[in-house]
Amino acid sequence: MDYISEKQFQCQKHPQDQLFFIQIDNIQNNQQKSLFYCVQSQEDDSDYKISNFILINTIIKKGTYQIIPKWPPVQDNSVLKGLRQQINQSQGES
């Protein structure tokens, strides 16, 4: 049933394309836009900014053992900063 799990990563607007990005910024202001972008969605969006997106692969590969700077999408950056500091302290030097 690998097919089904792969299917979940297909773009709804472009079913032939795989999703690569998740939108992490201006989510409330862009409710008409998809949270998930394939490469074609990215090209279609004239407002596209790389800083507003994170690679899905990054979350899957790195999410289990380190904090990704842009994920989870939180308004208050100090929350993530504090969290990172705490982890760095408990790990000693990295």
- Residue from 21, 23, 41, 70 in contact with Zn ion (CB under 5 A): 41
Residues 6 or more apart whose Cβ sits within 8 Å of residue 37:
11, 19, 20, 21, 22, 23, 45, 48, 53
Number of residues near Zn ion (by CB under 5 A): 6
Q: Which stretch, 5-13, 24-32, 54-62, 76-84, contacts Zn ion (CB under 5 A)?
A: 5-13
Residue 11 or 22: the one with the smaller Cβ distance to Zn ion is 11
Q: For residue 48, give the H/E element and its range.
A: none
Contacts of Zn ion in 11-40 (CB under 5 A) = 11, 13-14, 38, 40
Phi/psi of residue 12, each to 5°? -70, -35
Residue type at 85? Q
Binding footprint of Zn ion on the chain (CB under 5 A): 11, 13-14, 38, 40-41
